[in-house]
Structure 1
Amino acid sequence: MIIALLNQKGGVGKTTLALHLAGELASRGKRVTLIDADPQGSALDWSQQRAHEGLPRLFGVVGLARDTLHREAPEFARDADMIVIDGPPRVASLMRSALLAADLALIPVQPSPLDGWASAEMLTLLAEARIYRPQIAARFVLNRCGARTIIARETAETLADHDPPLLASTIGQRVVFADAAQSGRLAREIDERSPAAREIAALVTEIGRLCIERIAP
């Protein structure tokens, strides 16, 4: 299974979600490889920081920021149960390649009308990719939100009737995610009982149900 986190807009939290999805899947016994397809290489930086801190390796991280990703990613899938792709912002050719590689495209958005508008180009690329691979599933993920804020509720309501649909699980704006990014750790390693850790666990559970539904006869 290949899951790609993609959005043309930068700063929506793709890398944080990709790392935490990979970590949570690994904690559930999955063999996971994270492909860093962002030329900035933030996931690779996180992995290097983790190694520098002497922390155990949870999953593999490889850099593959090129538009042949859709041909190369399946090679990594031979030795992993799950592939998570941290996609690039703004680079259309890399985005197309990541989409063509994906079984499931997750589109992180923040609770802001601007994020919804910025997703329009992403959806155009998704529609183009489905011409060649109509089986690609896609979902929005509401990220960096305050669950009780009006704008978060309005964004969720707007996306509720959207195609692709919105996942029920949401991820809050949590300080622990920033700490995790700097330290080469995951939120669950810093505090396994934190709201952030619980939200990531719920998100992975929902994605797991979605994957099962897609492969069920």
Structure 2
Amino acid sequence: MGILKEKRTGIKSPKIIACLSQKGGGGKSTLARALAVELTKQKLNILLVDLDIQQKTSQEWSERRKQQNIKPTVNCQSFPYFPLELLKKNYDYLIIDAPARISQESLTIAKQANLIIRPVRPSLDDLNPAIREFNGLFKAGIPKSKLNFVINAVGSRAMEKATRDYLVPAEYYIFPIALEEKVSYQEAQNQGLSIGEVKYKRLQEQVKKLVKEILKKC
């Protein structure tokens, strides 16, 4: 789906990047927060949409950020489902932190999104369900051009290569930048920071490169 336009108001619908996963711990909230921070730094009007109202991890993260007076302030709201009225709001981007489960709501989100990102960890327990998840969305009519993997939590280049090699036959796009397994990422998020705001320059640059690649596809 391209960018829709409201003919009567002249307001264009926001671009939507959805971070999906059928289970928790894969990195979708981590990636959604990093995207939200980097886009906000670009002076864009964004909304981080937390759709897991039971956990509210992104909502609570944004509140920690406000409490620590960390700039820029990230606009985050939680909802029990994706409200279609957000498409009529004057946002540049909606970043969706989807619930950690597969449901009809996942398909609704996928249909509205410009880009769907599935962070995947380098283990068969994560890789195989991730591939099946995308296959299900593809069979439901979501084009492969929307479906993208980000390799997350790799411990070595050999591990990253093995993960890429395993994913390639599924024929979904794999972003060229992988995220490493780092304790500093978790520590940063505990403080209300994103993984792009860690104190290590190399890790900051890695996240910025990934965000740049994601926006090129959106």
TM-score, length basis structure 1? 0.84
Matched with 1:200 is 207
- CA gap of 1:181–1:163, structure 2 versus 1, over 3 A, is same
Alignment deviations for residues 28-74 of structure 1 (CA, whole Å, 9 cap, x no partner): 232211100123110001011112223334331010232xx162341
State which drifts further: 40-49 or 168-177: 168-177
1:89 aligns with 2:105: no
- CA gap of 1:135–1:160, structure 2 versus 1, over 3 A, is closer
Matched with 2:30 is 16
Alpha-carbon RMSD across the aligned residues, in angstroms, is: 2.1
| Aligned pairs (5 A) from 1:127-146 | 127-130=138-141, 134=143, 137-146=146-155
| Larger helix fraction of residues | 1
Q: Runs ≥4 in structure 1, deviation > 3 angstroms?
A: 133-136, 187-190
Matched with 2:71 is 56
- Structure 1, unaligned runs of 5 or more: 212-217
TM-score, length basis structure 2? 0.84
Letter in 2 for 1:28: Q
Letter in 2 for 1:10: G
Give the whole-Å Cα distance in 2 for the aligned partners of 1:60 and 1:135: 30
Matched with 1:166 is 174
Give the whole-Å Cα distance in 2 for the aligned partners of 1:121 and 1:41: 26
Q: 1:182 aligns with which of 190, 195, 216?
A: 190
Percent identical: 28
- CA gap of 1:73–1:196, structure 2 versus 1, over 3 A, is farther
Matched with 2:10 is none
Shift of 1:141: 0.5
Alignment deviations for residues 98-157 of structure 1 (CA, whole Å, 9 cap, x no partner): 212211000110011221111144224422542xx6586111100111232x33321111
Give the whole-Å Cα distance in 2 for the aligned partners of 1:55 and 1:165: 34
Q: Count matched residues.
A: 203
